[in-house]
Structure 1
Amino acid sequence: MRTVYAASGNPTDPLSSIRVHKRNLPKPREGWVRVKMEAVGLNFHDIFTLRGMGIHEIRYPMILGNEGAGVLDDGTEVAIYPNLGDPDFKGDETIDRKRHVLGELAQGTLAEYVMIPKRNAVPRPQGLEAKDAAVMGIAWLTAYRMMFRKADLRPGQTALVQGSSGGVTTALIQLGSAAGFRIWATGRTENKRDLARRLGAERTFEPLAKPPYLVDAVFDTSGAATISHSLACVKPGGIVVSCGIHSEGGSTEVKIDLLHLCANQISLTGVYTGTREEFVDLLNFVAAKGIKPHIGKVLPLEKADEGLKDIWTGQTEGKVIITI
């Protein structure tokens, strides 16, 4: 079968590790199902794999891709829930110490076929097309958990999204506007800020600009480049929700003003994807609201490296989709 995989981890030149070659079909496993892939969403996590970064040691060669949509052998159309872990873990599976996503310990979805646990193959709601369902597993599920589980916003409240053209940030803008929140967003260029407005943002700003008033929540995907600004923009008692280290250099070390954090009782929390229950709720919400996820580029499997380059160089405008 045709696949796109990481041959090794290369911290400084991750794109050099991309390979597009045929590999053997996945072998059947008890309790797992085979999915004929139709579409796969690319993510910054794929760059982490190419760089050799992860919470687990990655065994190369590793097929890339954490999410996607396809068809089971019996014809059922499914969206893929990306999280795997300890099958005996009880509670919130996103804090299972053995948790991992497809493309990390188990081979990923950038292939003609993938084998996944049966629970990870979630039937798609009627009307949710493969390309739209393909982006739900990582970026959209992360955004859904950030907004509805962690920030717990109410319609009419204001949230600032740090960014306007990435997978998570476009998902936050679209989900938040559909839910009745007042969404503000930052963007490095006028084109990016215009995209945010077209997706539902009420107001947009240049990066690190001071907003006209403090907001109820800030969603931060960049990390070191924006976290101090995010903390400065939230009102007393508000929350900053972080999901990534996507800024240039990918530094995981930041400095924050603890006096400001404590005196204003600001919550700072992180997010790692979401639960299967949240994934099902997300699919149903998107289908019920008729949301069309913003897809910036669609490429065939053989050109997946082009999409990964866009992510690595920060040239995306919404999600990049690979069709198979």
Structure 2
Amino acid sequence: MQAVTFTGHGDTDVIEYAEVPDPDVGPEDVLIDVKAGALNHLDVWTRRGLPGLDLELPHVPGSDAAGVVVDTGEAVTRFEEGDRVALSAGVSCGECEFCRRGEYPLCVSYHVIGEHVPGVHAEYAAVPQDNLIPVPEGVDWVTAGSTTLVFQTAWRMLIDRADLSAGESVLVLGASGGVGHAALQIAAHAGAEVYATGSSEEKLRYAEAHGADHVVDYEEENFADWVRTETGKRGVDVVVDYIGAGTWRDSIRSLAKGGRLVTCGGTAGPNPETDIPRIFWNQLTILGSTMATPGQVDDVMELVWDGTFEPAVREVLPMSETDRAHALLEGREGFGKVVVRPDSELE
């Protein structure tokens, strides 16, 4: 079969669309005929080489995909041939103290399909049955293959970790990104007043169309100054910041007293300077978040399937052009997700 691979870490020139062996189907695995998958910044970091990440190379990336079940392992009970499914990429042991209390993303052996183990950007993928969710008839493959990771991540960040309530205010940084545009919709759905940042007029208009009440071009104006002006120097209740080093101090400065900053990553750097006095004087809370529990995945994806939440897709490309897809993410071009489909699906 054909799959996206890289044999070493580096720039986009390490990416190939090449012939690889068909996947082995274990007893608990489901074999999927992949129809579409989406890229996330996680794919860029994995390709570049995350510190401490020891991958078996060549590596097949991809933590988002959807397709049709074509075979099942002997112990599979949840799916059968012909079912429509999408990937939920977080893998937990189900047995440690965190899993026993339902906090699966805190699992001591938690890992992510596509990051720590082979991913799903291929013609076929073998996936543990517990990492698949049903896709209703009528949901198109681009939607099904591009929403699970970012919407579950943003849902857990805002609804679970930040405990967002109707009437509160939220600032979403990087509103044109995958997690960002999901967070906009979730915050608006929760009844919050939504502030958002972007780097172009096009991105700001998209942000408004996806739930933002107030927008600012962060390249033209300091977003913390803007937030404090817009809120009468109060600040917002919650900041969603997955940017990291370049925004951290201003994210903290944007918070109201008692506010919460929630983060799931650091696309611009993992080690920011921080403002400790402001954190303790203003009684701020810093919250980390990763992926979601199975129940949270079900809750948010139900709202995707019924059209309440809608993914923005900036481009759909053949998997043979995955290098270009990576370049689109790294260049911050456009709004929303970049989707890749097996070349055989586009013939």
TM-score class, shorter: over 0.9
- On the 8 A contact 2:169/2:192 being kept in 1, the answer is yes
SS of equivalent to 2:240: strand
Amino acid at match of 2:60: I
More deviation, 61-70/51-60: 51-60
SS of equivalent to 2:93: coil
Deviation, 1:202, is 0.5
- Residue 126 of structure 2 corresponds to which residue in structure 1? 115
Amino acid at match of 2:261: V
- Residue 6 of structure 1 corresponds to which residue in structure 2? 6
Q: Which of these residues, 264, 289, 308, is aligned with residue 290 of structure 1?
A: 308
Amino acid at match of 1:257: D
**Rg: which structure is higher?**
2
| Residues 1:229 and 2:250 aligned together | yes
Aligned counterparts of 2:42 and 2:52: Cα–Cα separation in 1: 11
1:47-126 to structure 2, matched below 5 A, reads: 47-53=44-50, 56-73=53-70, 74-89=81-96, 90=99, 91=101, 92-126=103-137
Percent identity of equivalent pairs: 28
Q: Structure 1, unaligned stretches of length 5 or more?
A: none
- On the 8 A contact 1:48/1:54 being kept in 2, the answer is no
Aligned counterparts of 1:54 and 1:223: Cα–Cα separation in 2: 16
Aligned counterparts of 2:310 and 2:195: Cα–Cα separation in 1: 20
- Residue 294 of structure 2 corresponds to which residue in structure 1? 276
SS of equivalent to 2:339: strand
Aligned counterparts of 1:320 and 1:126: Cα–Cα separation in 2: 23
Aligned counterparts of 1:217 and 1:87: Cα–Cα separation in 2: 31
Amino acid at match of 1:298: V
Amino acid at match of 1:86: C
Aligned counterparts of 1:282 and 1:317: Cα–Cα separation in 2: 21
Provide the aligned C-alpha RMSD in A: 1.6
- On the 8 A contact 1:141/1:279 being kept in 2, the answer is yes
1:161-240 to structure 2, matched below 5 A, reads: 161-207=172-218, 208-209=222-223, 210=225, 211=227, 212-213=230-231, 214-240=235-261
Amino acid at match of 2:259: G
- On the 8 A contact 1:183/1:200 being kept in 2, the answer is yes
Aligned counterparts of 1:55 and 1:141: Cα–Cα separation in 2: 25
CA deviation map 1:268-289 (0-9, x unaligned): 1111111222111111122345
Amino acid at match of 1:174: Q
Aligned counterparts of 2:61 and 2:34: Cα–Cα separation in 1: 13
CA deviation map 1:65-109 (0-9, x unaligned): 011111112111111110113243323121113211111232101
- Residue 301 of structure 1 corresponds to which residue in structure 2? 319
Q: Which of these residues, 259, 268, 284, is aligned with residue 277 of structure 2?
A: 259
- On the 8 A contact 2:89/2:113 being kept in 1, the answer is yes
Aligned counterparts of 2:127 and 2:331: Cα–Cα separation in 1: 31
Judged with a 3 Å threshold, the aligned counterparts in structure 2 of structure 1 residues 303 and 245 are, in CA distance, closer, same or farther, namely: same
Aligned counterparts of 1:35 and 1:168: Cα–Cα separation in 2: 25
Judged with a 3 Å threshold, the aligned counterparts in structure 2 of structure 1 residues 126 and 237 are, in CA distance, closer, same or farther, namely: farther
CA deviation map 1:205-259 (0-9, x unaligned): 1323221221110000210111111111111111001112112xxx221111111
Aligned counterparts of 2:13 and 2:169: Cα–Cα separation in 1: 42
Aligned counterparts of 1:219 and 1:55: Cα–Cα separation in 2: 26
- On the 8 A contact 1:125/1:283 being kept in 2, the answer is no
SS of equivalent to 2:277: helix
